[in-house]
Amino acid sequence: MTIREVVSVPNPVLRKKAKQVKNFDDNLQTLIDDMVETMRKAPGVGLAAPQVGVSERVIVVEYFENEEDENLENSDLAPKKLYTLVNPEISRKSVDVIEGVEGCLSVPGYQGEVDRHVMVTVKAQNRHGQPVTLKLKNWTARIFQHEIDHLNGILFTDIATSIWKPEEQIEDNV
């Protein structure tokens, strides 16, 4: 497995609609394994193939199982759930939306307030091509929406209601 470079704006691959994956071959398996390692090294909770310069519809997401327990984020013993999805699409979404703070490995140094659907259903394939359907809510739904946006050339900064540099916010409060 290889740690790949995370590309950042203004790299044009981040603005392209990624191609559908048709071949579930060794190259795809290597890409997925590399993406998982890259996401963990960054560190991040999700990564889309365009973020490592590959315009294909692949995402990886890893998060704490008990997303509501803030103390888990600081624990090395907390269980994490890893998803590797190929050709993911949001098939259903709640009417309800909630605002939350997001950042992105491809937009370093910035955060923003983004409205996301509270619940989504994602249809995809696993790394071996078998169909997968996930019903997601809250923080987990936000991560998946963010990563699927990458596959469509959308960055969180495109849909944020406000954007800032975290160090600016700290300086303003001093």
Q: What is the CATH number of the domain that holds 147?
A: 3.90.45.10
- Amino acid letter for position 10: P
The Cα diameter of the chain in Å comes to 54
pLDDT for the residue numbered 173: 45
3-class secondary structure, 30: helix
Ramachandran region, residue 82 (left: φ > 0; alpha: ψ -120 to 50; beta: rest): beta
Alpha-carbon dihedral sign for residues 40, 139, 146, 33? positive
40, part of any domain: yes
2, part of any domain: no
3-class secondary structure, 53: coil
7, part of any domain: no
pLDDT for the residue numbered 170: 52
pLDDT for the residue numbered 80: 84
The structural domain count of the chain equals 1
Residues facing 84 on adjacent strands: 60
pLDDT for the residue numbered 167: 78
pLDDT in tens, the chain (174 residues): 799 999 999 999 999 999 999 999 999 999 999 999 999 999 999 999 999 999 999 999 998 755 444 444 444 555 789 999 999 999 999 999 999 999 999 999 999 999 999 999 999 999 999 999 999 999 999 999 999 999 999 999 999 999 999 876 554 444
Whether 67 sits among the annotated catalytic residues: the reply is no
Q: Are 55 and 28 in contact (CB under 8 A)?
A: no
3, part of any domain: no
Q: Are 161 and 112 in contact (CB under 8 A)?
A: yes
Q: Which residues contact 78 (CB under 8 A, 6 or more apart)?
A: 64, 65, 66, 72
56, part of any domain: yes
Q: Are 87 and 125 in contact (CB under 8 A)?
A: yes
Structural domain including 81 reads 12-172
115, part of any domain: yes
4, part of any domain: no
Residue found under tokens 């009417």: 95
Q: How far apart are the first and last CA of the chain?
A: 44
Predicted TM-score (pTM) of this structure = 0.88
Among candidate residues 102, 147, 167, 171, the one labeled active-site is 147
Comparing C-alpha atoms, which of 57, 56, 149 is closest to residue 104? 149
Tally helices (H) and strands (E) across the chain.
Answer: 4, 8
